[in-house]
A and B are shown apart, each in its own frame.
Chain A
């Protein structure tokens, strides 16, 4: 299994508070991703990173920011949490995003269940 951990695994917070989720990998993979998973919507990309300090938005990036200061860590921040951000958040990694000669599949972390009251 790919070495990906997420912390915390569960969190309950109140509307308006800041929240930071951490993804840590030991695979030295270049690409890292943050998704949220909600019933009826599937997995949706929030932000992704293609290198240290290099990030870009996904399809549901409003209300979220990310940072990547080291290859192994990718942080997702909710500056002011809202109830609509209650979800399960998954981090994923992949070795390379440019090659079509191999699978370059994404490996997922165990997820963080976030509840915003």
Chain B
């Protein structure tokens, strides 16, 4: 099976930078996704990594180290609207195709 760990909660200040970590143990790794989910809403796609390194997308960046089973999501210039849950998800290749396994999410609270 797959095991994905991420912190349950984090708090940060508006305008600051926050890093949300995700560690995973899996076989058949085929990419790692980050999703954002506001309360009462559906998850929305933020970023994808399949190769080692940093992917930058505006204020959001995501890093992957496959050898360490580690990823992080970096949010810069935090805004109040960034208060949400951030979900790390690992895609694994199985006989039935690629499936996602999600971590339990990190609830980020951005304060003034």
> What residues of chain A have their CB less than 8 Å away from a CB belonging to chain B?
31, 33, 40-45, 48, 50, 56, 58-59, 90, 97-98, 100, 103-111
Supplied contacts A33-B100, A42-B103, A48-B96, 6 more A-B pairs, CB within 8 Å: A31-B97, A45-B101, A48-B97, A58-B99, A98-B97, A105-B48
Contacts of A103 in B (CB 8 A): 31, 45, 48
> What residues of chain B have their CB less than 8 Å away from a CB belonging to chain A?
30-31, 33, 41-45, 48, 50, 87, 89, 96-105
Contacts of B96 in A (CB 8 A): 48, 50, 56
Cα-based distance from A55 to B102 in the complex (angstroms): 20
- Closest residue on chain A to residue B85 by CB atoms: A42
Supposing A31-B97, A50-B97, A98-B98 touch, asked if A43 and B45 sit within 8 A by C-beta, the answer is no
Contacts of A50 in B (CB 8 A): 96-97
Q: Could you show 23 A-B contacts with beta carbons less than 8 Å apart? A: A31-B97, A33-B100, A42-B102, A42-B103, A43-B43, A43-B87, A43-B89, A43-B102, A44-B102, A45-B99, A48-B96, A48-B99, A56-B96, A58-B99, A97-B99, A105-B45, A106-B45, A108-B42, A108-B43, A109-B42, A110-B41, A110-B42, A111-B41
Cα-based distance from A108 to B100 in the complex (angstroms): 13
Cα-based distance from A33 to B48 in the complex (angstroms): 19
Query: Are B44's CB and A100's CB within 8 A?
Result: no
Contacts of B44 in A (CB 8 A): 108
